[in-house]
Amino acid sequence: METVNINDMDITVKELNVIDAIECNMEILVSVGSILDQYKDWTKSTFELSIERPKLFYKLIATSTGKSKKFIKSLKAKDYDLLVLTFLSVNSEFFIQRLKIIQLSNNG
């Protein structure tokens, strides 16, 4: 968990877990899994997720921060970048674990 200050507002970014993803929508796990499997690298995968499925990416960030997608979309570029970088830093393990599960299932 990490807190960032954006527009004089402290925003806590928490680590996602599978339950968060399931509660958001099972589509998130499928999309994350599909993109991770395609790129085999969590950094490239999350970048591709943000481009290919921006609504899903906003939803993940919203779940992690407790902020609305509307709030996230309204941020200035520098504030959005700070939030995304913090989100990726805090949630790297979430994405790495999804990649490991996919790799194991593909090799099994």
Name the least confident of 1-5, 15-19, 56-60, 103-107.
Answer: 103-107
Question: Tell me, what's the pLDDT at 62?
Answer: 93
Which neighbouring-strand residues pair with 11?
4
Residue 88 or 42, more confident: 88
Domains of the chain by residue range: 2-101
Separation of alpha carbons 25 and 68, rounded Å = 16
Structural contact between residues 64 and 87, judged by C-beta atoms closer than 8 angstroms: yes
Which pair of tokens denotes residue 15?
Answer: 């680590």
Cα–Cα distance list, 98 to 8, 67, 80, 88 (Å): 34, 24, 24, 14
